[in-house]
Amino acid sequence: MKTRTAVLYQPGESIRVEEIELDPPKEHEVQVKIVAAGVCHSDYHLVTGELPGYMPMALGHEGAGIVEAVGSAVTNCAVGDHVVLSFIPSCGTCYYCTRGHTNLCNLGAAILMGPQLDGTFRMHGSQGQDIGQMCVISTFSERTVVPDISVVKIGDYYPLNRAVLVGCGVATGVGAVIHRAKVETGSTVMIIGCGGIGMNAVQGAHIAGARMVIAVDTVDYKLERAREFGATHTINPKNQDVVQIVKDLTWGAGVDYAFEAIATPATIGQAYACIGKNGTVVVIGLTPATAESIPIPPLDLVLFQKTVMGTLYGDSQPRNDIPNLLAMYGAGKVKLDELVTKTYTLDQINEAYADMLSGKNIRGVIEFA
């Protein structure tokens, strides 16, 4: 069948929206009509070339929609089900899955490779060329075919243009705080970068019961919004000394936890400088593949017993955490409506990324008719 999809042909080019051919689902695959897709920075790393991946690539990795068809062996969903897609497939049987880290499933190696899990392609261009699928799901598409192990069924009473956010941004940001760092009640927390991921780290720290939540960003609008999500203090590094203010706020001790969602060596080093003894830095964002080191003094790491850790998908377990986060949203414990700054059509995909890069959005969402 034909479907309109956002495709990147080469790094440095604009994303093209065009009609392509979509093959039907195979035995363990699901065809989904996408209702909403989140505009996340991770896809843009392919546009800039900072993240290497298959080309051409149909982009999008945060999506929600309705199941239209299922392969003969699919048992976890049925036609008509409302679903959120997980951008990392999980087999449930590998070393990492069986130890409770399905976000690290060995199948995650496929997310930038292009083809589906069996090594073949479901999307094809007008000239017959194979088109890869970002994270094997490609949510910037009217319709997509995905592995059944990338599908999480949800209640049909959740609006899909809000449920979409728990597929990546909310699960990653909140999960980094709750699951990876395990922030303790009464602790002090700093978050550098208050976009779609960092803002959810802010609300994650609030949910965890941190007594001090310091939000850092160069955009005043985002700092204002951060207070709605639980920030107790805000810092704009364009005109304030982040490290000095953090030290002052904590009586010289430094914060217990610092979350870094900008993903540059400089800001990771800044986060490290802001933590105190026994403090923890959690790096959430994707640095360019060319970055090979971060400015952290090893002696200080030992003498003050500090920890630096990374996190993928917030160490979340999508089959459990996606429904749980939506239940918390339904109970008024997780904010989703407030995250959406602006909605776009698929044809406005490049405008949506321009707005993200300029700092206008917390989260932009593509909505399909």
Task: Give catalytic residue positions.
Answer: 40, 42, 45, 61, 168
Q: Which residue has the tokens 């005109």?
A: 239
3-class DSSP assignment, residue 222: helix
- Alpha-carbon distance 275 to 167, whole Å? 30
Q: Is 15:353 a contact under the CB 8 Å cutoff?
A: yes
Residues in the chain: 369
DSSP 58-124: E----EEEEEEEE-TT--S--TT-EEEE-SS---SSSTTGGGT-GGG-GGGGGTTT-S-TTS--SEE
Both tokens of 246, joined, read: 């953090």
* Contacts of residue 183, Cβ cutoff 8 Å, sequence gap at least 6: 177, 189, 204, 205, 208, 209, 210, 256, 257
Q: Is 180:153 a contact under the CB 8 Å cutoff?
A: no
* Contacts of residue 164, Cβ cutoff 8 Å, sequence gap at least 6: 35, 36, 37, 38, 62, 63, 64, 84, 365
Q: Which residue has the tokens 């699960």?
A: 171
- Alpha-carbon distance 107 to 56, whole Å? 21
* Backbone angles phi and psi of 7, in degrees to 5: -120, 135
**Residue 190 bridge partners (DSSP):** 214, 258
- Alpha-carbon distance 264 to 268, whole Å? 6
- Alpha-carbon distance 116 to 204, whole Å? 33
- In this structure, how many other beta carbons lie within 10 angstroms of the beta carbon of residue 127? 5
